[in-house]
Structure 1
Amino acid sequence: MENPSLISVLFATSKVSEHLIKPLGHHQLLLVLLELSLLLLVARGMGEIMRRINLPPVVGELLAGVVLGPSLFGLLFPNLHDHIFPENQQQSDLLSVISWLGVLCLLIVTGLETDLKLIIRKGKTALLISLGGIIVPFVTGFGLGWFLPETFLADPNKRLVFSLFIATAMSISAVPVIAKVLMDLNLIRRDIGQVTLAAGMTDDTIGWILLSVVSGLASSGKFDFGTVFRSVSAAILFLAIAFTIGRTIVDQILRWVDDKVGGVTASLSVLLVLSFSAAALTQHLGLEAALGAFVVGILAGQSRRFNSEAGHTLEIITAGFLAPIFFASAGLKVNLLSLLVPQTLIFGLIVLTVACVGKFTGAYIGSRVGGLSHWEGIAMGSGMNARGAMEIVVATIGLSLGVLNPQMYSIIVMVAIVTSVMSPPLLRWSLSKVTIGEEEAQRLELEKLASRSFIKQIQRVLIPTRGGANIQLAAQLVGYIAQQNPLDVTLFYAESDKQPPSKARQTATAVKDTATQEAFTAVAEEMQLPDESNLQTKTESGHSKVAAIINEASKGYDLIVLGASEQTRSKDALFNLLVDQVIQEAPCATMVVKSHLTEAQGESCRIPQQPLKNILVPTVGTEYSKNAIEVASVIAAATGASVTIVNVINLPQIEYILYERRSFNPMKDIASDLLEQQAVIGRSLGAEVKTCILKGTSPETEILKFAENEGFDLIILGSNIRMVTGRVFFGHRVDAILNRSHCPVAVITAP
């Protein structure tokens, strides 16, 4: 007799197996890998060809899809084309998912590059351009849809819905294409580039709302005010929350990840998680997923704790893989052969003309009303004219809802491709006529300098402290830097894992807690950080104090600030054993401050605020010297002090008259040029900079004599680390200045 319980279990198992999701088929995986390889090869190849003929690569990437589509590849090798790119919904969906990843990543990168302050400053102009770029093409597109022959309508009884779809398609702009063009042309940081992005995103946001309204209308067959209200409300609410509460949330998440994990991989992962989550939210709200990704990109770019290297990594992945796949797959949908039918060709050209003229005219009028020049208006019209894949999305939705027939679908996709191909050369040509204003030129030059600047890259500062005079003075200097360059500062108290005997452990713990709090309080009060900066404290232990400091420093800090404690100095160390070892093992730049204050003040006594009126920076023209000049200039800009950059011409021990006459003057000219070049760096950071040339047989002696005679309050040295018999060695000159100076000395090193 059969066991009924066994039969029921087997029956249940068979029912479950019927509903198991099958893994991706062997042939499906083979095809998608083949499609990706072919699309990437042709897209990148044609992109490089376009680059060589002075066109943006995005043009070649868009045309790659047309070449691989039914227009060329399908015409020449129909069987092979149908085998690689079959008309199969599941296979098409696999490629679409990767294409959408390209869209989202491209918009994340665009968001990271977006200057929100500049957009806000240009907000009125961007809004006027956007309104002009929507209203005019929407009206002309609606009129076009109303008068097109019925042969282009899927359902002649839905003329109103058809006209609204055409109007929406004419109004949309392709922010991914615009962004890629601006990146390719190196224009994304220009005022015109930022305004174009702002106008494009506003344009698309309104366009997505229009699309959701028209899609709802097509589905229901009647005008639904509820759909309109929900779409508009969702967009406004999302943007309002994102740029208020969302800004803080994103920043805090990035801070937490940076503190707890750190590194490029962690920053990149959290950026993608936040972006895809926001994209899912905007998609759920009936808006487009691209809006959420773009907004998170902006918010992450505004956070000081986002790792810029992570953004650069994502940009490389996007430009080298995801974006070319996206642009090429968009071109796959175009069948130019269907457009060769005389009636379709004629009306296709009419649609293209109306699309270009309407968008260009609207954007130009908006630009002029917004205060832009004639050529800036032409550039704006050229840039906003790119429709790209967003218009293809509109066409695809219209086709799936039964509003568009295959003829009209091909025409709209053709418009998307042609306008995207037209836009880059027109934008390049029109922008060549635009003169850069003085304000914009200064901003771009400052950004260029900032991208290569040592001090501008410093955002996170670690200050190991036990509260001595040297670290208190160092804290004062960090506070001055923070006034010009907002910082995230961590005060760090390092302990060794070695435990005292059990009887003394409780007393030692109480003493340690008191000492820690005193050390933190002393340094925090000396620093006086502005509101824009952030201060936190940490106490950690390791197998040694050095290990604890290095372990914390490896979590993404840009600068370690140390005090050189005279009381604990060893004869085998430049500063002391702990400081020397930290400098040797530091994963980032370091600044060591030696105050030269009297030892009577002790390690726990507060020092008065040290007045700074004159700062001296010796230079030999190296990158290390430039770093020191930048630090000095930022401190000077905050305190009102002046910076003197000095170069010493090292003469031989015996000065011959012949040497003096023939060799000194050329050396003086070289030194003068060097000083002036480095003075420009200091002045660009807001400091009053002077230059001076000294000469002598002992540069360190001349520097010390000059510093004392002229009454300098601080000497800042830039140096590289040299290892000599296990101790830190900056060179005899730096050692001499550190030990014999009458005033405080700070030494800046970079890894």
Structure 2
Amino acid sequence: MQILPSMLLPVIAAQKAVGDSLIKPLGHHELLLVLIQLSLLLLVARGLGELMRRIDLPPVVGELLAGVLLGPSLFGWLFPALYTQIFPKSQEQSNLLSVVSWLGVLFLLIVTGLETDLNLIIRKGKTALLISLGGIVVPFVTGFGLGWLLPESFLSDPTKRLVFSLFIATAMSISAVPVIAKVLMDLNLIRRDIGQVTLAAGMTDDTIGWILLSVVSGLASSGKFNFTTVLTSVGSAVLFLAIAFTIGRTVVDQILRWVDDSIGGSTASLSVLLILSLFAASLTHELGLEAALGAFVFGILAGQSRRFSREAGHTLEMITAGFLAPIFFASAGLKVDLLKLLVPQTFIFGLIVLAVACVGKFTGAYIGSRLGGLSHWEALAMGSGMNARGAMEIIVATIGLSLGVLNPQMYSIIVMVAIVTSLIAPPLLRWTLSNVVMSEEEANRLAQEELSSRSFIKKIHRVLMPTRGGTNVQLAAQLVSHMAHQNPIEVTALYAHSDKQPVRKARQAATLVKETTAEEAFSAVAQEMQLPTGTTLQTKVESGQNKAKVILQEANKGYDLIVLGATEQKGSNKALFNMLVDRIVQEAPCATMVVKSHLSQPQGESCTIAQQPLRHILVPTVGTDYSKNAVEIASTIAAQTGALVTIVNVINLPHLEYILYEERSLHPFREIAQNLVEQQAEIGRLLGAEVNIRILKGSSPSREILKFAQAEGIDLIILGSNMRMVTGRVFFGHGVDTILSNAHCPVAIITSP
């Protein structure tokens, strides 16, 4: 019996060793404190941010001030005991808040990357580089001189003045891209040319600054200048950027494409963005560069992908602006102790350091801007924006303190410089930019972007085209082909069939027939499409319980438009088009376009039709969003084919008889109709189409439209309409039904869910 306990001794010892090595979970008190800290910081930061907004200042000003007020400067001075309880001097507790703060930095840089126009930055690359070099060289030289002249009382080790001077020079050179980005967002300037150039220059400045920091940190650690550290840091940055914008661009796009096809939805898109960006941030951090650089770059790459969900980007922006960014800015202010700066010597030299920092950065950015071809006011704006140091300089100061390069006195001065420059940057930026004259090119670009943000056609990136190879879907393929030349879209042709199994003997033959029919259907569509270079027609064969369900399941994978042929099969008296098309239009998760060609079926179901000439496109309108969508589709096609678009509005005379009896005039109704068609004609012209307008009148709008189409030799009628349910069938109104049935030319009808 005594043998058993002796046998268990090794097991008990092993369990004890494992128990001793277990990592304890986060303590109750530590978790309580971090939750209180986050809620308090968020409350004050958002409250002051909204206050700043009301007095016409960017909210980031209030968010930065929140940390100062909650820090030792005010809250700690007024209520020292309570301050110590909420913000104890514990490294472990501080680390918890730092993690959330760093997430704020990374998320803010991801959002900034999504908003960054890489093509514009490339066009302005020379200017951005010159600004960055000016913003690095001048403050570095002035900062180095300042470090060499400061009294020994500000040095942690007077024997290491060279390292100290280099550290001060680096701190003077750094810019705070998160602060700059937040200010530009708050002022709604991030899409302006000056905003994009500021971001480009800021990121270049920051990258060079962090390379300098890694070199100086290595020098501080080793006590000697190390060329290997310099070459490694520079090489790592160049290699990362080169791989990211070549191979990385393709890889990110393919990953987003696969996730969109396999899973779909904005949630999946957001998850992939965060996974890739955090991985890239960890990679750049491991390379000795700034983690924010990796997050920013992958935000740019995701923003350039057609498959990235704009809804996911908007969600991320809301989370960042409403939670993480305020925490980041407020926690940066917590490190400031203004009371230490009130010592006379510290106060005087603190002002000197602040002046040198502002003048050096402002002068360098201004000179670089002027050399880069910017105007006087644009150069002043660049100097104002680049002057913000923010938490990045606080990080530099923290590193210097941990390495023993800075003493607490100098650390407080550098943190003060970071806060003050971040506070004065927004009003200076607003003032200088108010004097910047917008060029005609920039005004046109912004107008196009504004149009795109509200445009139906510009939001179409993926098109699903179910096909059986008939004439209607072939004509639809021609129309989609014209659209693809004006807007970058992906087109997927889908052959759907029922998976109801035939009897065993006929199963193999039925499978061969389906495969052959699918190939013929795809071939018929492919021959009608003349897609632009770089765009390919994707094909899919899917099966399910019924064809409509198969098509709708595929449509739920993030498509923006479903394009259908009106009568791919024999119609039914209970359906407008046929039972299949009617159900898809009714249940579609996105917009649909149904095309009725009014062309005779060529020999063989999948024989191709000739390219249909489009010289004149007619769009009836009643001024609704549905009509506007039709105008956009027509104008996009016309911009590619050179067709004339005529927008018509019909004044319905019977509806006006009683009113006319009183007013004896059609003038008010003509004026309304004229304004209506003019507004929609302007949309068409902005999309590059030649647009004409006509006002018709008659007792039957549909009859007047058909008469006009016949008389003018219209080649295509495009209708926008909302769907109504009548006894289970699709119903767009008697007028639309009449045009669909009696038109002498092809008709396309656009609907939105």
Normalising TM by the smaller chain, what interval? over 0.9
Aligned partner of 2:356 in structure 1 is 354
Aligned partner of 1:253 in structure 2 is 255
**Counterpart secondary structure, 1:243:** helix
Residue 515 of structure 1 and its aligned partner are, at CA, apart by 0.5
Aligned partner of 1:522 in structure 2 is 524
Aligned partner of 2:154 in structure 1 is 152
**Counterpart secondary structure, 1:620:** coil
Aligned partner of 1:80 in structure 2 is 82
Output the CA distance in 1 between the equivalents of 2:720 and 2:662. Answer: 29
1:671/1:491 CA distance change after superposition, 3 Å: same
Identify which range, 577-586 or 666-675, moves more after superposition.
666-675
**Aligned with residue 561 of structure 1, among 553, 560, 563:** 563
Aligned partner of 2:140 in structure 1 is 138
1:723/1:109 CA distance change after superposition, 3 Å: same
Residue 96 of structure 1 and its aligned partner are, at CA, apart by 0.4
Residue 118 of structure 1 and its aligned partner are, at CA, apart by 0.5
Map 1:460-539 → 2, pairs under 5 A: 460-539=462-541
**Aligned with residue 202 of structure 1, among 201, 204, 207:** 204
Output the CA distance in 2 between the equivalents of 1:19 and 1:598. Answer: 80
Output the CA distance in 2 between the equivalents of 1:336 and 1:567. Answer: 79
* One-letter identity of the residue aligned with 2:595: V
**Aligned with residue 6 of structure 1, among 2, 5, 8:** 8
Output the CA distance in 1 between the equivalents of 2:662 and 2:558. Answer: 50
CA contact (8 A) 2:45 2:327 kept: yes
CA contact (8 A) 2:651 2:698 kept: yes
* One-letter identity of the residue aligned with 2:265: G
**Counterpart secondary structure, 1:241:** helix
Aligned partner of 1:610 in structure 2 is 612
RMSD: 1.2
Q: Does 1:415 align with 2:383?
A: no
Aligned partner of 2:307 in structure 1 is 305
Map 1:291-690 → 2, pairs under 5 A: 291-565=293-567, 567-601=569-603, 603-652=605-654, 659=661, 662-690=664-692
Aligned partner of 1:37 in structure 2 is 39
CA contact (8 A) 2:602 2:609 kept: no
CA-to-aligned-CA distance 1:582-640 (integer Å, 9 cap, x gap): 00000000000000001355531110000111100000000000000000000001111
1:589/1:296 CA distance change after superposition, 3 Å: same
Aligned partner of 1:290 in structure 2 is 292
Output the CA distance in 2 between the equivalents of 1:292 and 1:92. Answer: 25
Q: Does 1:242 align with 2:231?
A: no
**Counterpart secondary structure, 1:286:** coil
* One-letter identity of the residue aligned with 2:742: R
**Structure 1: runs of 5+ lacking an equivalent:** none
Identify which range, 560-569 or 646-655, moves more after superposition.
646-655
1:535/1:657 CA distance change after superposition, 3 Å: closer
Residue 524 of structure 1 and its aligned partner are, at CA, apart by 1.6
CA contact (8 A) 1:468 1:602 kept: no
Identify which range, 239-248 or 663-672, moves more after superposition.
663-672
Aligned partner of 1:121 in structure 2 is 123
**Aligned with residue 749 of structure 1, among 723, 748, 751:** 751
**Aligned with residue 195 of structure 2, among 193, 196, 208:** 193
Residue 311 of structure 1 and its aligned partner are, at CA, apart by 0.4
Output the CA distance in 2 between the equivalents of 1:423 and 1:283. Answer: 28
**Counterpart secondary structure, 2:339:** helix
Residue 566 of structure 1 and its aligned partner are, at CA, apart by 6.1
* One-letter identity of the residue aligned with 2:450: K
Output the CA distance in 1 between the equivalents of 2:543 and 2:636. Answer: 34
**Counterpart secondary structure, 2:26:** coil
1:567/1:551 CA distance change after superposition, 3 Å: closer
**Aligned with residue 228 of structure 2, among 223, 226, 229:** 226
Residue 541 of structure 1 and its aligned partner are, at CA, apart by 1.5
Output the CA distance in 1 between the equivalents of 2:36 and 2:234. Answer: 42
CA contact (8 A) 1:58 1:181 kept: yes
Aligned partner of 1:217 in structure 2 is 219
CA-to-aligned-CA distance 1:93-144 (integer Å, 9 cap, x gap): 0000000000000000000000001100111111111111110000000000
CA contact (8 A) 2:626 2:752 kept: yes
| TM-score of the two chains, using structure 1 as the length reference | 0.99
CA contact (8 A) 1:471 1:593 kept: yes
Output the CA distance in 2 between the equivalents of 1:657 and 1:82. Answer: 78
**Counterpart secondary structure, 1:663:** coil
Output the CA distance in 1 between the equivalents of 2:123 and 2:653. Answer: 55
CA contact (8 A) 1:487 1:534 kept: no
CA contact (8 A) 2:660 2:666 kept: no
Aligned partner of 1:17 in structure 2 is 19
CA-to-aligned-CA distance 1:656-704 (integer Å, 9 cap, x gap): 9964973311111111111111111001001011111111110000000
Output the CA distance in 2 between the equivalents of 1:652 and 1:266. Answer: 54
1:657/1:39 CA distance change after superposition, 3 Å: closer
* One-letter identity of the residue aligned with 2:93: Q
CA contact (8 A) 1:458 1:559 kept: yes
Output the CA distance in 1 between the equivalents of 2:225 and 2:389. Answer: 26
CA-to-aligned-CA distance 1:459-489 (integer Å, 9 cap, x gap): 0111011111000000000010000001111
* One-letter identity of the residue aligned with 2:688: G
Output the CA distance in 1 between the equivalents of 2:441 and 2:682. Answer: 18
Output the CA distance in 2 between the equivalents of 1:656 and 1:480. Answer: 46
CA-to-aligned-CA distance 1:480-507 (integer Å, 9 cap, x gap): 0000001111111111121111111100
Output the CA distance in 1 between the equivalents of 2:368 and 2:616. Answer: 52
Residue 342 of structure 1 and its aligned partner are, at CA, apart by 0.2
Output the CA distance in 1 between the equivalents of 2:663 and 2:679. Answer: 26
Identify which range, 490-499 or 605-614, moves more after superposition.
490-499
Output the CA distance in 1 between the equivalents of 2:147 and 2:304. Answer: 43
**Counterpart secondary structure, 1:652:** helix
* One-letter identity of the residue aligned with 2:102: W
CA contact (8 A) 1:567 1:599 kept: no
**Structure 2: runs of 5+ lacking an equivalent:** none
Output the CA distance in 1 between the equivalents of 2:107 and 2:671. Answer: 51
Output the CA distance in 2 between the equivalents of 1:532 and 1:679. Answer: 31
CA contact (8 A) 1:486 1:532 kept: no
**Counterpart secondary structure, 2:306:** coil
CA contact (8 A) 2:281 2:293 kept: yes
Output the CA distance in 1 between the equivalents of 2:671 and 2:324. Answer: 52
* One-letter identity of the residue aligned with 2:393: E
CA-to-aligned-CA distance 1:165-198 (integer Å, 9 cap, x gap): 1000000000000000000000000000000000
CA contact (8 A) 1:460 1:487 kept: yes
Aligned partner of 1:182 in structure 2 is 184
Output the CA distance in 2 between the equivalents of 1:534 and 1:21. Answer: 53
CA contact (8 A) 2:527 2:608 kept: no
Residue 38 of structure 1 and its aligned partner are, at CA, apart by 0.4
CA contact (8 A) 1:469 1:601 kept: no
Identity of aligned residues (%): 77
| TM-score of the two chains, using structure 2 as the length reference | 0.99
**Counterpart secondary structure, 1:538:** strand
CA contact (8 A) 1:399 1:406 kept: yes
CA contact (8 A) 1:129 1:367 kept: yes
